[in-house]
Amino acid sequence: MLIDIHIHTEEFSLDSQFPLRRVLSSAVEIGLAGVCITDHESLALYSEAEALSKESGLVVIIGKEYSCQEGHLLVFGALDYIKPGLPLESALKKIKSQGGIAIAAHPFRWDSLQMGEAIKKCAPELDGVEAFNGGATAEENLLAYEFAVENGLPVLGGSDAHHETRIGRFATEFSTPIQSEADFIRAIAKAKNSKRKLESINVSTRQGTSFVSAYPHQKRLHERVSPPPVHSIKDVLSAPRNRFSVEE
């Protein structure tokens, strides 16, 4: 089942122009099975998740995008307030102490380069990597993908949608049914501990009116814009700042 794990609503993210009701209706229209609402530093919708799921027919999971000192984390299952801006290591300890999970969000994107360095020291404490982010370039996503594979972490995908045209740009495909936040957390934890991660979690991209595997699509985009392989943050800094549409 396909879940877009990274979406912002205009009600609780100041930089979003995507009303909650439109998030839900758009997700249904394009064929998603679920959405994760990850507003900046906000769990305001948490108590409404069950009602929103029943109303829309989707699995609605409420997490948040947490801003640590170095970059961003997608956080699920940690309900107590965590002060924004903590160093990554400290933030991860607080999330884990609450039984939550933390996914590195677009860790090599141009606006999160410190995160790319920081997660190398904290890889065992992460639960996954958003290696396919709808706002990142192919090169930036490739670095995140390589990091996840090298460190045995689940590879996840999210649109990072702030507008309805972006929803489903990337979505995570789960092989097991997800009906709740608890199922979602268990599936990611299981994938982290599995030696066959890509069989339990995969990533798809929206192409026209359907979803296809993101892996060949990502490879094509990377080869088109930058034939030489990208291996370092220095390479990312010198690469073109192109953004790609899933229809390309």
Q: Is residue 208 scored above 90 in pLDDT?
A: no
CA-CA distance, 162 to 111, in Å (whole number)? 16
What are 77-129's pLDDT values in tens digits?
999 999 999 999 999 999 999 999 999 999 999 988 799 999 999 999 999 99
Distances, alpha carbon 202 to alpha carbons 37, 45, 205, in Å: 20, 27, 10
What are 119-164's pLDDT values in tens digits?
999 999 999 999 999 999 999 999 999 999 999 999 999 999 999 9
CA-CA distance, 114 to 154, in Å (whole number)? 21
Looking at per-residue pLDDT, the higher value among 225 and 69 belongs to 69
Q: Which residues neighbour 182 within 8 Å (Cβ) at sequence distance 6 or greater?
A: none
CA-CA distance, 201 to 220, in Å (whole number)? 21
Q: What is the CA radius of gyration of the chain?
A: 16
The torsion region of residue 152 among left (phi > 0), alpha (psi -120 to 50) and beta comes to left
Start-to-end CA span in the chain (Å): 24
33 close to 60: Cβ distance less than 8 angstroms: no
pTM of the model: 0.86
- Ramachandran angles phi, psi of 198, nearest 5°: -75, -5
* pLDDT range class, residue 219, cuts 50, 70, 90: low
Q: Which domains does the chain have, with CATH numbers?
A: 2-238 (3.20.20.140)
The 3-class SS string of 165-219 reads: CCCCCEEEEECCCCCCHHHHHHHHHHHHHCCCHHHHEEEEEEECCEEEEHHHHHH
